[in-house]
Structure 1
Amino acid sequence: MNGIPNTPLHPYYPLGVAIPGYVAKTLTTQEILAIFTATCLGILIPTWLYIRHIRRDLPSSEVLTALWFVLCGFIHLGLEGYFAFNAHDIASHSTILGELWKEYSFSDSRYLTADSFVVCMETITAVFWGPLSFLCASCIVADHPLRHPLQSIISLGQLYGDVLYYATCAFDAAHLGIEYSRPEPAYFWGYYIFLNAFWIVIPLCLITRSTRETGRAFTALKELSPSKIAK
């Protein structure tokens, strides 16, 4: 109209997708990343100090695994839980967590459109994998026998969710021609690929480790004589 070309009301892809109640973010990308990094360090450093204080004999690999699950617990419950609770109007939020989701949504606009898959996936992640991640971390520090069953269940759930997350985007791009990420490499390769890849690589490693430990435990049990088992 009036010779003015149509322009999108927001910067997200696909251009023109409906985002009800959208309010532009006010924090810069640098500020959002700095807040996220500082928060992660603020969680991990005190947790590392606490674990080292109560379990000086715990191997470094076990400490790192416990820290991973603590971080997962905070991200799943705090960050993803916030999204799941506010999924239908998060585009209008100007809180720090709302700003963070609007920043991440440059790589996947489905988070601002209440997409059924991401809402269901993130809700399951927050409700189940969040609390169980904290429980698994405590089992690692306490050397509890439930550690490996919990580690396997959580990691498989994370891996399955992330694979479906990638797969649904790939399906829509290949069969419907819909791209949810902006074309800038930082958004697709940095946010969408790199950040989510942690929940592919690390769970695979943890599932492999737990499977080996479980196999060793059953092998050792079978090697015991019936008389020793009875005792």
Structure 2
Amino acid sequence: LVHCALEGSFVYLSFMGNIADSDSFIASLWKEYGKADARWVNFDPTIVSVEILTVVLDGCLALVLMYAIVKEKYYRHFIQITLCVCELYGGWMTFSPEWLMGSPNLNTNNWLYFWVYLVFFNSVWVLIPGLLLWQSWVELKKMYPKGTSLGKKFQ
């Protein structure tokens, strides 16, 4: 839902003009976050590219995952792992280029913008996929019968 509603609106607003010039409620949320990371207010091709992929691919994977969880489908953990890896990769590609350039667009001097907007809000996108990856690891481990090995199967 976050991908489709918030990030989808970010992509839409980015293509319809500059978020800084928009007066919509959603634009005001992005303007506020833009106080911590200026790339979200002005058209940054890296951010918009990552968000297009996030909205389309991750949004679709999230819908498929919700269905797989509710209907207890066999492919649930495959989708969950794929989505989590996409989330972690998206976060890395959002911040790694910025860090390599010395973080010129990040407001690291203001406590609220740095610790709440940048660290806390973005760590959620690392913590939750990390926990879901761990959950999938545990569930997949349970499915593997103990005491079996490839060598025993061929003897």
Q: TM-score, normalised by structure 2?
A: 0.85
In structure 2, the residue matched to 1:127 is 56
CA contact (8 A) 2:13 2:27 kept: no
2:116 paired with 1:190: yes
Aligned residue in 2 for 1:77: 4
Q: Deviations over 1:114-147 (max 9, x none)?
A: 1111011111100111122122122112211111
**Aligned position for 2:125:** 199
Q: Structure 1 residue aligned with 2:145, among 213, 220, 224?
A: 220
**Structure 2 residue aligned with 1:155:** 84
Q: Is the 8 A contact 1:172 1:179 kept in 2?
A: no
CA offset digits 1:46-75 (Å, max 9, x no partner) = xxxxxxxxxxxxxxxxxxxxxxxxxxxx11
Match of 2:67 among 133, 138, 141: 138
Aligned-residue identity in percent: 28
Contact 1:77–1:131, Cα closer than 8 Å, also in 2: no
Deviation at 1:169, TM superposition (A): 2.1
Verify the 8 A CA contact 2:50 2:93 in the aligned structure 1.
no
Structure 1 gap ranges (5+)? 1-73, 224-231
Runs of at least 5 residues in structure 2 that lack an aligned partner in the other structure: 149-155
CA distance in 1, matches of 2:51, 2:105: 20
Pairing of 1:96-135 with structure 2 (within 5 A): 96-135=25-64
Q: Which amino acid aligns with 2:12?
A: F
Deviation at 1:213? 2.0
Q: Which whole-Å CA distance do the structure 1 matches of 2:45 and 2:131 have between them?
A: 30
Q: Distance in 2 between matches of 1:222 and 1:81?
A: 48
After superposition, the CA RMSD in angstroms is: 1.9
The separation in 1 between residues aligned to 2:120 and 2:101, in whole angstroms, is 20
The structure number with the bigger radius of gyration is 1
User: In the aligned structure 2, how far is the partner of 1:203 from the partner of 1:131?
Assistant: 16
Compare 145-154 and 82-91 and name the one that shifted more.
82-91
AA partner of residue 162 (structure 1): G
How many pairs are equivalent? 146
Aligned-pair CA distance for 1:98: 0.6
Runs of 4+ in structure 1 displaced over 4 angstroms? none
CA distance, structure 2, for counterparts of residue 222 and residue 161 of structure 1: 38
